[in-house]
Amino acid sequence: MRKMNKSEKHTIDEAYFRKLDTESKVMEVAKNFDTPAGKNQDEVLEAIMARAEKEIPIRKIQIFTWVRAVAALVLIVIGIYAVNTVFSKDKVATGFGEQAELKLPDNSEVILNADSKLTYSSRTYGQSRQLKLSGEAFLDVQKGGEFVIETRNGKVEILGTQLNVYSRGSEFWVSCLRGKVKVSSGDEQQIIEPGELVQLSNRRLVKKVKSDIDHTAAWTQGVFYFEDKPLVSIFEAIERQFNVSVNYQGNENRTITVTFSNKNLQEALDVICIPMGLKYEIRNNKVYIDEKPS
Amino acid sequence: MYVPVKNFIYYKTGDIEVAEDIAQDAFVKLWEKKEEIRTKSVKSLLYTIAANLCKNRFEHQRVVFEFAKNFTLANDSASPEFEMELKEFSKKLEKAIGGLNEKERVVFLMNRIDGLTYNEIASNLGLSVKAIEKRMKKALDELKRTVEYKL
């Protein structure tokens, strides 16, 4: 199999690139894509061995010679170690158009919004309640010791009970419905109380008071509130909730305040597009949005 | 062999963790099916196993890709506008790739990212070179159409 040296950076020359037709541009740019970095080789090997161990039926041992039996024993030891270290993580993930509700070992409840991922280690959860989140989740936390959610953008420590956490791309905000929450990101730190929201903006955590804090968790009931959000965020939410792809080439940074439910795609598009002077067309799971000709 | 199989599943699902899981499973299953190796090439057997594992796990409707980008701009001559333009283009392309039909996407990305020839892809997937050419062409047409879609 031919192997390309992917770590090497290719240069793209402006004059050359501009001369290309779309097809060649597609070919050229795609050539320089790469898959996200994964685990290192050792971890992979251990994981494979652990699985081989788990999945090969025991009766096969009878036909093993004693040399193979010894080798298998070594595998078992490595396998058990790997299972304990690598596979003790519980993971819950939602796809597009999905939500998931789950109970953590301490009976705390979590509702995951679409296209979100939550991981925790059930092995150590009893000692320290630590979760990792990407996407959006609503949490109703049982009283107890420390409860920490790590996201790419910052850390959320829960000192009380009900809150909503949002961390997608570089957008990060946390709202508190009941109790008290401590949020930190970089060197910044804020404690918020019911009715307050903290948002990451230019690497600073900004605290805001909201009279309608319930709206931040309305998605758990299938209702989506967006206050002064850019079109791009709203279309991304549409993609997540309705499992469609949205194509819009206009100014994505225009902001809008809008409410829609995840029951009906056309209604949702209507409330966004009509006030913004846009028209849309739905063709096999793709939504094409255009400026309305004036 | 691990990386190409992992990539193959990643192209199908857009989820790198799922891809790693399935690639590992495929190697385990390969061991169980070692008797079949005589009749089929190991490589294509591995791809078949991985594809079946993937099918068992879920039907993917829509996938989202976030590729690592390997390009730099030709040194100082590059204007910030071009940098922006290239970034925009990559974003659009990524999105368009996510919208492709799975079969076409897999072929397109195996060729573009793994640098496999049509011949190699055909033998890995147990298909004819003609079929690969067809899928590649369809993928390109669709990508061109989506990327060019403007106001």
Residue B22 domain boundaries: 2-57
Angle at A223 between CA A246 and CA A180, to 5 degrees: 115
Mean pLDDT, rounded, for A206-211: 82
Residue B69 in any domain: the answer is no
pLDDT in tens, B98-122: 888 888 999 999 999 988 999 999 9
Report CB contact under 8 Å: A290, B151.
Answer: yes
Residue B49 in any domain: the answer is yes
Into how many domains does chain B fold? 2
Q: What does the alpha-carbon distance between residue A239 and residue A285 come to, in Å, rounded to a whole number?
A: 10
B90 touching A (Cβ < 8 Å): yes
Whole-number pLDDT of residue A4: 45
For residue A78, how many C-alpha atoms fall within 13 Å in the half-sphere facing its CB?
A: 18
Mean pLDDT, rounded, for A122-146: 82
Shared domain for B53 and B86, answered yes or no, is: no
In a 3-state reduction of DSSP, which class is residue A231?
Answer: helix
In a 3-state reduction of DSSP, which class is residue A91?
Answer: strand
* Percent of chain A whose pLDDT exceeds 70: 84
Rounded to the nearest 10 degrees, how much is the dihedral formed by the CA atoms of B61, B64, B68, B70? 80
Report CB contact under 8 Å: A29, B89.
Answer: yes
Shared domain for A150 and A191, answered yes or no, is: yes
Contact residues, chain B, for A29 at CB < 8 Å: 71, 86, 89-90, 93
Residues 6+ apart with CB under 8 A from A230: A252, A253, A254, A255
Asked if pLDDT for residue A7 goes beyond 60, the answer is no
Residue B104 in any domain: the answer is yes
Last residue of a domain, one of A87, A116, A137: A87
Contact residues, chain B, for A245 at CB < 8 Å: 62, 95, 98-99
Whole-number pLDDT of residue A8: 56
* Percent of chain B whose pLDDT exceeds 70: 85
Whole-number pLDDT of residue B68: 79
List, in sequence order, every beta strand (DSSP E) within A4-128: 10-12, 33-34, 89-93, 100-103, 109-112, 117-121
Shared domain for A95 and A211, answered yes or no, is: yes
pLDDT in tens, A227-247: 888 888 889 888 888 888 888
Shared domain for A212 and A96, answered yes or no, is: yes
Whole-number pLDDT of residue A1: 39
Whole-number pLDDT of residue A2: 41
Into how many domains does chain A fold? 3
Mean pLDDT, rounded, for A197-202: 86
What is the largest distance, in Å, between two alpha-carbon atoms of chain B?
58
Residue B23 in any domain: the answer is yes
pLDDT in tens, B8-44: 988 888 888 888 888 888 888 887 777 666 666 778 8
Residue B73 in any domain: the answer is no
pLDDT in tens, A13-38: 888 888 888 888 888 888 888 888 77
Whole-number pLDDT of residue B139: 94
Contact residues, chain A, for B74 at CB < 8 Å: 11-14
Q: What is the DSSP letter of A87?
A: S
Whole-number pLDDT of residue B55: 76
ipTM of the complex: 0.76
pLDDT in tens, B64-99: 787 877 776 666 566 778 888 888 888 889 888 988
pLDDT in tens, A33-51: 888 877 677 777 777 777 7
- Where is pLDDT greater, at B1 or B135? B135
